[in-house]
Amino acid sequence: MVLGADQVNLIGQVFESYVLEHHRDDILGILREADDEAHYPVVVDALTLFETNMEIGEYFNAFPSEVLTVFDSALRRAALAVLQDAAVGSPHLSLKQNLHARVSGLPVCPELTREHIPKARDVGHFLSVTGTVIRTSLVKVLEFERSYICNKCKHVFAVKADFEQYYAFCRPSACLNEEGCNSTKFTCLSGATSSPACCRDYQEIKIQEQVQRLSVGSIPRCMVVALEDDLVDSCKSGDDITVYGVVMQRWKPFHEGARCDLELVLKANYVKVNNEQLSGVVIDEEVRKEFEDFWEKHRDDPLAGRNEILASLCPQVFGLYLVKLAVAMVLAGGVQRTDATGTRIRGESHLLLVGDPGTGKSQFLKYAVKITPRSVLTAGIGSTSAAAELEHDVEHVLLRAGNLLKNKFDFPFKSLTNRFGGKPKRTFWLNITFLFCVRTG
């Protein structure tokens, strides 16, 4: 089932009138920009839009990809109307073709808003997903459309890349001329001798469920998010974001004898970075007074005050005050300094815990992740190297170390040989936990 012509016209008219009423100033600001080739977003609140016409909300929930395309077309018509109205008094306005409607502010309900990674039943639905960015890829140039010419009737038609097949181009089976040409021979106009004409910026990121929102014993899951046009480079590793987009599935092009693996992907329509909300700590007078009274109480014996603080750190683990002191020092961090030669020396420390299984190493790490606003928990159970975090296509993955705050590699370490190259005499199985604190910015 697809949208009919009457439904498309209704959606376009309602959205165009809504944008002219609520976002005229935003459109005027875009028309004043000098770059006509750049991509410009107009962020639309979904609740306000659906209140205007509830039928639009039903169509949007049923056919999100098709409705978003109609929104973009209606947005361009609205921009043209604003330009014609303001052309007399503002001669420096110019029409922009690359306008995108970005939908945000979905109603807070389980059907539309998710704190966990979507599943197969959510394919084709427009959702709001909250998570932490754990890796970002390089920004690529993506060819999303090719033009073909029929060798028989010389009709030129466009073929779009298939997102579900990793943007592969499927050669048409017959000429698309409406006059009835059935030729099956075509020539691609953007071949090896000419550069692609229709390209856009493209980037993939991977988000992970926030650890503090999971139940005890749950392993955080991950999901790939596809970013295009103005959404590229809108976030970085370590950011807590809310992604509004359509859940889709994709697979590699079919090959004989090869297994077809499906993957769920979130095709983003809008990305909202929540770092300012999560990391902003408001210290009021009551908290400040409590802090001063605490240290005034332990002015004669500050170590007793320190021990009281350590007793409240990771309370599910009894004792181990030395380890708790080390974790507290890592979380508190230090002060970056610059030596006489101009070299920056970081003030953050790293922590390595080595011990038998069941001694509480992971509990300290989970506690550190829980009280840190921006953190990433990575488990490499069963791996034999710290490279467990990387994927098979590492040449296309960029890990920005300046933004990742917390990583964990908890894996068995096996000593196989001695330093002289002899046969292994003893095998040690240790669980190792790393706690990395990396300065952001």
296-306 pLDDT, tens digit per residue, is: 888 888 888 88
Give the tens place of pLDDT for each residue, 149-183: 888 888 888 888 888 888 888 777 788 777 777 77
Give 194-246 as a DSSP string: S--SEEEEEEEEEEE--GGGSPTTPPPPEEEEEEEGGGTTS--TT-EEEEEEE
**Nearest CA-CA partner of 264 in 157, 117, 52:** 117
Residue with the bigger pLDDT between 146 and 420: it is 146
Alpha-carbon gap, residue 364 to 441, rounded angstroms: 26
The share of the chain scoring above pLDDT 70, in percent, equals: 79
Instruction: State the pLDDT confidence band at 439, using cuts at 50, 70 and 90.
Output: very low
In 3D space, the residue among 209, 230, 233 whose CA is nearest the CA of residue 137 turns out to be 233
Cα–Cα distance for residue pair 209/220, rounded to 1 Å: 5
Amino acid at 213: R
In terms of DSSP bridges, do strands 397-398 and 344-345 run parallel, antiparallel, or are they unpaired?
A: unpaired
Task: Convert the pLDDT of each residue in 263-307 to its tens digit.
Answer: 889 999 999 988 654 444 556 788 888 888 888 888 888 888 888
pLDDT at 408: 40
State both tokens at 55.
Answer: 């039928």
Q: Predicted confidence band at 88 (pLDDT cuts at 50, 70, 90)? A: low
DSSP string, 75-99: HHHHHHHHHHHHTTT-TT----S-E
The per-residue pLDDT for 374 is: 61
Q: How far apart are CA 331 and CA 350, in angstroms?
A: 10
The confidence band for 227, taking pLDDT boundaries of 50, 70 and 90, is very high
Q: For residue 418, is pLDDT > 50?
A: no
Q: Cβ distance 376 to 405 under 8 Å? A: yes
Q: How far apart are CA 348 and CA 345, in angstroms?
A: 9
Angle between helices 285-297 and 302-311 (to 10 degrees): 120
Contact 147, 190 (CB under 8 A): yes
| CA atoms of 404 and 200, how far apart (whole Å) | 28
CA distance 394 to 383: 17
Ramachandran angles phi, psi of 299, nearest 5°? -65, -35
| pLDDT 10s digits, 385-415 | 443 344 444 344 444 433 333 444 433 333 3
Q: Which residue has the higher pLDDT, 219 or 14?
A: 14
